[in-house]
Chains A and B, each alone.
Chain A
Amino acid sequence: GAAGATGFGSMADTGLLESLLRLLEKVDGGTDSQDVAADLGVDHQVIVGAVKSLQALGEVISTEQKSSKHWELTGEGREIAEQGSHEARVFNAIPDEGLPQNELMKMPSGKVGFSKAMSNKWIRLDKAHEGGPRVFKTVETIEDTVRDKLQLVQKGQSAKLEDKEKNELKKRKLLSEVTVKSYWITKGSSFSTTITKQETELTPEMIASGSWKEKNFKPYNFEAMGVAPDCGHLHPLMKVRTQFRQIFLEMGFTEMPTNNFIESSFWNFDSLFQPQQHPARDQHDTFFISDPALAHEFPQDYMERVKKVHSEGGYGSQGYKYDWKIEEAQKNLLRTHTTAVSARMLYKLAQQEKFTPVKYFSIDRVFRNETLDATHLAEFHQIEGVVADYGLTLGNLMGVLHQFFTKLGITKLRFKPAYNPYTEPSMEVFSYHEGLKKWVEVGNSGVFRPEMLLPMGLPEGVSVIAWGLSLERPTMIKYGINNIRELVGHKVNLQMVYDSPICRLDS
Chain B
Amino acid sequence: MPTVSVKRDLLFEALGQKYTDEEFDELCFEFGLELDEITSEKDIISREQGDEKAEGASDVVLYKIDVPANRYDLLCLEGLVRGLQVFKEKLEAPRYKRVSPADGGEPQRLVITDETASVRPHAVAAVLHDVTFTQERYESFIELQEKLHQNICRKRTLVAIGTHDLDTISGPFTYTAKPPGDIRFKPLNQSKEYTATELMSLYKTDGHLRHYLHIIENEPLYPIIYDSNGIVLSMPPIINGDHRKISLNTKNIFIECTATDLTKAKTTLDMVVTMFSEYCEEPFTVEEAEVVYPDGRLCVYPELAYRTETLSGDFINKRVGINESAESIAQLLTRMCLRSEVSGEGDLIQVEIPPTRADVIHACDIMEDAAIAYGFNNIVRSTPRTYTVANQLPLNKLTELLRQDLAAAGFTEALTFALCSEEDIADKLRKNIAETRAVHISNPKTAEFQVARTCLLPGLLKTLAANRKMPLPLKLFEISDVVLKDETKDVGARNNRRLCAVYYNKSPGFEVIHGLLDRVMQLLDVKPDRNQGYHIQAAEDSTFFPGRCAEIFSCGKSIGHLGVLHPDVISRFELTMPCSAIDIDIEPFL
Contact = CB atoms under 8 A, between A and B. Distances in A.
A425 B367 contact: yes
B490 A297 contact: yes
A252 B390 contact: yes
Contact of B412 (A233, A262, A415, A463): A233
Nearest to B474: A494
Contact of A238 (B393, B403, B485, B493): B403
B521 interface: no
Contact of A295 (B377, B452, B491): B491
Contact of A254 (B1, B318, B390): B390
A419 B70 contact: yes
Contacts of A488: 415, 417
Interface stretch (B97-105, B106-114, B129-137, B459-467): B459-467
B506 interface: no
Given A238-B403, A395-B321, A290 B441 contact: yes
Interface stretch (B178-186, B358-366, B555-563): B358-366
Given A379-B417, A394-B321, A424-B368, A316 B492 contact: no
A318 B483 CA distance: 39
A287 B70 contact: no
Interface stretch (B27-35, B44-52, B188-196, B239-247): B27-35
A393 B382 contact: yes
B322 A259 contact: no
Contacts of B71: 419
A268 to B, nearest CB: 10
A395 B32 contact: no
B440 A248 contact: no
Interface string B378-413: 011111101111111101100010011011111111
A494 B382 CA distance: 44
Interface string B470-488: 1000110100010101010
A494 B319 CA distance: 49
A256 B481 CA distance: 15
B442 A293 contact: yes
A330 to B, nearest CB: 10
Contacts of A178: none
Interface in A322-343: 322, 332, 334
Contacts of B492: 262, 292, 294-296, 332
Nearest to A416: B29
A457 interface: no
A292 B485 contact: yes
Contacts of A256: 393
B388 A262 contact: no
B216 interface: no
A291 B411 CA distance: 35
Contacts of A377: 417
A369 B384 CA distance: 37
A263 B34 CA distance: 33
B94 interface: no
B263 A322 contact: yes
B483 to A, nearest CB: 5
Nearest to A493: B467
B488 to A, nearest CB: 10
A387 B560 CA distance: 39
A318 B362 contact: yes
Contacts of A399: 381-384
Given A292-B493, A389-B384, A494-B470, A313 B32 contact: no
Contacts, number: 283
Interface stretch (B218-226, B324-332, B443-451, B533-541): B443-451
Interface string A372-401: 000001110000000101011111101110
B364 A447 contact: yes
Contacts of A232: 406-413, 475, 477
Contacts of A417: 31-32, 68, 368, 371-372, 376
B495 A259 contact: yes
Nearest to B309: A316
Contacts of B143: none
Nearest to A356: B388
B406 A424 contact: no
B491 A264 contact: yes
A255 B387 contact: no
Interface string B113-153: 00000000000000000000000000000000000000000
A490 B448 CA distance: 12
Given A393-B318, A495-B470, A313 B154 contact: no
A395 B261 contact: no
A234 B322 contact: no
B502 interface: no
B419 A378 contact: yes
A191 interface: no
B365 A287 contact: no
Nearest to A381: B415
A262 B444 CA distance: 15
Max chain B C-beta neighbours (<10 A), residue from A231, A292, A398, A417:
A417
A394 B371 contact: yes
A396 B442 contact: no
Contacts of A365: 418, 481
A296 B490 contact: yes
Contacts of A86: none
B418 A238 contact: no
B400 A245 contact: yes
Contacts of B371: 394, 417, 425
Contacts of B463: 490, 492, 494
Contacts of A127: none
Given A261-B452, A379-B418, A449-B362, A395 B320 contact: yes
Contacts of B38: none
A136 interface: no
A431 to B, nearest CB: 13
B377 A414 contact: yes
A252 B414 contact: no
A261 B419 CA distance: 11
Contacts of A262: 439, 452, 483, 491-494
B392 A463 contact: no
Given A232-B412, A255-B391, A287 B441 contact: yes
A402 B495 CA distance: 34
A253 interface: yes
A237 interface: yes
B64 interface: no
Max chain B C-beta neighbours (<10 A), residue from A230, A232, A395:
A232
A52 B5 CA distance: 77
A369 B497 CA distance: 24
A332 B377 CA distance: 40
A400 B449 contact: no
Contacts of A392: 384, 386
Contacts of B481: 259, 261, 365
Contacts of A283: 443
Contacts of A238: 403, 413, 415
B386 A334 contact: no
A311 to B, nearest CB: 10
Given A252-B390, A287-B441, A231 B408 contact: yes
11 contacts: A232-B411, A255-B392, A257-B393, A262-B452, A395-B380, A396-B382, A398-B379, A489-B417, A490-B414, A490-B465, A495-B470
5 smallest CB-CB distances across A and B, nearest first, come from A395-B321, A393-B321, A417-B32, A292-B492, A419-B68
Interface of A: 230-235, 237-238, 242, 245, 248-249, 251-257, 259-264, 277, 279, 283, 287-298, 313, 315-322, 332, 334, 357-359, 365, 367, 369, 377-379, 387, 389, 391-396, 398-400, 402-403, 414-419, 421, 424-427, 447, 449-451, 463, 465, 487-495, 497-498
Interface of B: 1, 29, 31-32, 34, 68-71, 154, 158, 261, 263-264, 318-322, 361-365, 367-368, 371-372, 376-377, 379-384, 386-393, 395-396, 400, 403-404, 406-419, 439-445, 448-449, 452, 459, 462-463, 465-467, 470, 474-475, 477, 481, 483, 485, 487, 489-495, 497
